[in-house]
A and B are shown apart, each in its own frame.
Chain A
Amino acid sequence: MTIRRRTVLKGMLASTAMVAAPAVLRAQGAPFKIGLLTVKTGPLAQGGIQMEQGIQTLLKEKGSTLAGRKVELIVADTGGNPAGAKTKAQELVERDSVNVILGPLAAFELLAITDYVREHTTPLISLAAAEDVTQRHANPWVVRPSATSGQCSHAMGDYAAKDMGLKRMATISEDFAFGHEQVAAFQRTFEDAGGKVVRKLWPPLVTPDYTPFIAQIGDVDGVFTGFAGSNPVKFMRAYADLGLKGSIPLTGGWTAMDDALLKSLGDEAVGVVSAHFYSPTIDTPSNARFVEAMAKDYQVVPGGYSAGMYIAGQCVEGALEKAGDKAGDKEAFMEALRTVQLTDTPRGPVAFDEYGNIVGNVYIRKCERKDGALVNTIIKTYPDVSQFWTYDPAEFLKNPVYSRDFPPAKNLE
């Protein structure tokens, strides 16, 4: 008898649940799957972990619900190499059937999978800087909410010539595509504004000691650095140790002075001027929430990688809102994503150009010590900077992609 009563009770419970379930399902639908391609092992892991923190912060803030839809995040570690990125992209697309991929981190990883996401019509939101992914080989399935390699250093070149009044500069950057592209963009705007790049130095990616390179800088009145990863820390220390810090001002691209690096830097960084698409001091409501949550959950000051991923998540939210019921359809979602316009992101208002690259503010910041801690204080804002700077896109794209040899350096001594 008791058994039967229990069965009846169970049946009642089940039927109540069945009545209630459709309402819940209607409100949420199947979860929208976001795949994150990041690097959690190997030398690039620092940036990769920051990327994961950025998107986790957004999802936590939103209760894992974007535009009314439950969101599921699947994290994949590429190991920081192209073949790994390809395999992990296959895992996310073919096994996990994600609706959108965020990442990967490095340019060579992005280049290894752009054709793949196009074939499998999977939207990709990447922070990697490879210029041509949104230029000469623009891919309809890729958008980039961070910046091309040249996007920030265009502004840095302009500022160095016009506002800092520098005339003769040397550049120093790692000898790989990201460095080449940054320096080329810097040289172009700096020389267009009347400056001269008189020396270009290319230390290898792994350089234990920058002293021999710094010794070659010579007679200039400013230096531009395009270092990335942990190299800026090593470089700035050597630069200060050799006594150049006070005499030749240092400028840099976004990775050279990213705010996530500040905790590893000391007085050698004070006074360095850098161009970045993000700064923790930007005064927008979402940035205030983001910086606070990052400090609370991870005890860090966020930099470009985590902010970029937070913004990527906001772009997903914007596209979900825009696509509405059709968000499950990849074509409709991608179209919504490419036309997303956000006013409140940690980096200010953003939109994508027709090539899928972001148009947004670029900030010139000066590193200062405030209340004992290093801060990159914004000293100038270039509003709505496009990847083409002020050049005509059609003219811009007729030129070869930025490299070690283009634009040619005519003023080398």
Chain B
Amino acid sequence: MPPGAVRALCLGAALAVLAALPWWMANPYYVNIASQILFWAVFALALNVLVGYAGLTSLGHAGLFGMAGYTAGLMLAAGAGHAAAIVAALLATLATTAIFALLALRATGIGFLMITLALGQILWGIAYRWASLTNGDNGVKLADRPAPLGLHLSSPDAFYLATFAVFLLCLASMRLFVRSPFGASVRGTRDQPRRMRTLGYNVWLVRFLAFLFSGFWTGVAGLLFVYYNQFISPQVVALQTSAEVLLMVISGGVGTLFGPVAGAAIVVVMKNVASAYVERWNMVLGIIFVLIIVFMPEGLVPGAARLVRRGYRGLRAGSGPAAAEAAASPGTAGR
């Protein structure tokens, strides 16, 4: 079998196992944890568009995440239906993203980071201080989860399946984005902005569109978050959330398709599952990050792929380096 087919088969099997999770995972608590991993993964994938492919590190994405959650929560509290609330939330998030992009894309590198940080803090300030609108730190509650296609999402299983469907869509759109000419031009603006400009690309516009794409999926993740928790408060919008998601992206593997997913899984599992057994789970999480940085500076997924590849090459040393190289090359296809 060609290596590409093996890869596809493995991926298909993994997705099938994940899709069937509610049936083999006996306890609803773990189904809920899995839902959390998935929507944090969507958030991390969204941030990865900017951090990984466009080379723009944002520390303001929690603001966009919260924007979607707050808009939906406040619309529902005002009596709107779920469909209206979701559409309004996504539109509001896109509009906010556009404003973020207009202001932040005046710079790159540290400048970009600082501007997005400041903008995120402004949104946090609004959520925290404009108490007559946002109810301040007492937060906004959602009475109910929606029922798309007649399937009410109140049970952990139903919510998981819906989140999984959204996650697949997100993953597919990311793959499409990465392989598209647009994705290539985004990577071009990351690596050689000046050359891209000479080639006739509007670098600013390419970055702007990438920002919007990132903002859209951040909004989707924010919606999943707020429907999952049925509660949103300013903590979600705070810098810590932005930093945490950035950590997911970096630890998992910047600019890879599955890196952010792995990063989200590590953080969610450590925070929620391991903390029940280890009192100093913060420290364990820190040690894991240090280990990742030391041994796999490119991130968990590409790092693990490299180690596997090296082991594979060692095994196949007798059959010639060319064959090993050919077998190994699909491992980088995700980049």
Binding site for B on A (CB under 8 A): 40-41, 76-77, 79, 81-84, 86-88, 90-91, 94-95, 107-108, 111-112, 115-116, 130, 175-177, 180, 403-405
Q: Are B236 and A83 in contact (CB under 8 A)?
A: yes
Give A20 to B78 CA distance when docked, in angstroms.
62
Q: Any chain A CB within 8 A of the CB of B335?
A: no
Q: Are A108 and B131 in contact (CB under 8 A)?
A: no
Contact with A along B205-227 (1 / 0, CB 8 A): 00000000000000000000100
User: Can you sample 24 A-B contacts with CB below 8 Å?
Assistant: A41-B281, A41-B282, A79-B275, A83-B235, A86-B231, A87-B32, A90-B29, A91-B272, A91-B276, A94-B32, A94-B156, A107-B137, A108-B138, A111-B138, A111-B139, A111-B231, A111-B233, A112-B233, A115-B143, A176-B128, A180-B136, A403-B131, A404-B131, A405-B132
Residues of chain B within 8 A (CB-CB) of A95 are 27, 29-30
Q: Are B233 and A82 in contact (CB under 8 A)?
A: yes
Q: Are A94 and B29 in contact (CB under 8 A)?
A: yes
Q: Are A176 and B32 in contact (CB under 8 A)?
A: no
Give A117 to B231 CA distance when docked, in angstroms.
14
Q: Are A108 and B272 in contact (CB under 8 A)?
A: no
Residues of chain A within 8 A (CB-CB) of B225 are 83
| Given A112-B139, A177-B136, A404-B131; A82-B32 close (CB under 8 Å) | no
Q: Are A111 and B141 in contact (CB under 8 A)?
A: yes
Contact with A along B27-67 (1 / 0, CB 8 A): 11110110010000000000000000000000000000000
User: In which size bucket is the chain B interface?
Assistant: 20 to 34
The 10 A-B residue pairs whose C-beta atoms are closest, nearest first, are: A95-B29, A94-B29, A112-B231, A81-B235, A87-B272, A176-B137, A94-B28, A177-B138, A108-B233, A82-B233
| Given A87-B32, A176-B136, A177-B137; A94-B275 close (CB under 8 Å) | no
Determine how close the nearest CB of chain B comes to the CB of A152; give it in whole angstroms.
Answer: 19
Give A176 to B233 CA distance when docked, in angstroms.
12
Determine how close the nearest CB of chain B comes to the CB of A177; give it in whole angstroms.
Answer: 5
Contact of B276 among A76, A94, A111 (CB under 8 A): A76
Residues of chain A within 8 A (CB-CB) of B33 are 87
Residues of chain A within 8 A (CB-CB) of B143 are 115
Q: Are B138 and A107 in contact (CB under 8 A)?
A: yes
Contact of A91 among B29, B139, B232, B280 (CB under 8 A): B29
Give A180 to B30 CA distance when docked, in angstroms.
38
Contact with A along B119-147 (1 / 0, CB 8 A): 00000000011011000111101010000
Give A91 to B271 CA distance when docked, in angstroms.
12
Q: Are A82 and B231 in contact (CB under 8 A)?
A: yes
Residues of chain B within 8 A (CB-CB) of A130 are 138
Residues of chain B within 8 A (CB-CB) of A176 are 128, 136-137
Residues of chain B within 8 A (CB-CB) of A87 are 32-33, 36, 271-272
Give A107 to B233 CA distance when docked, in angstroms.
11
Contact with A along B80-120 (1 / 0, CB 8 A): 00000000000000000000000000000000000000000
Besides the contacts A108-B235, A177-B137, A404-B131, what 11 more A-B pairs have beta carbons closer than 8 Å?
A: A41-B281, A82-B229, A82-B235, A87-B271, A88-B272, A90-B29, A107-B138, A111-B231, A115-B231, A130-B138, A177-B131
Determine how close the nearest CB of chain A comes to the CB of B41; give it in whole angstroms.
Answer: 16
Q: Are B29 and A84 in contact (CB under 8 A)?
A: no
Q: Which B residue's beta carbon lies closest to that of A77?
A: B275
Q: Are A77 and B229 in contact (CB under 8 A)?
A: no
Contact of B139 among A40, A82, A180 (CB under 8 A): A82
Residues of chain B within 8 A (CB-CB) of A116 are 230
Q: Which A residue's beta carbon lies closest to that of B136?
A: A177
Q: Which A residue's beta carbon lies closest to that of B30?
A: A95
Q: Which B residue's beta carbon lies closest to that of A202?
A: B129
Give A15 to B247 CA distance when docked, in angstroms.
58
Give A108 to B135 CA distance when docked, in angstroms.
11
Residues of chain B within 8 A (CB-CB) of A76 are 275-276
Residues of chain A within 8 A (CB-CB) of B230 are 115-116
Q: Are A86 and B138 in contact (CB under 8 A)?
A: no
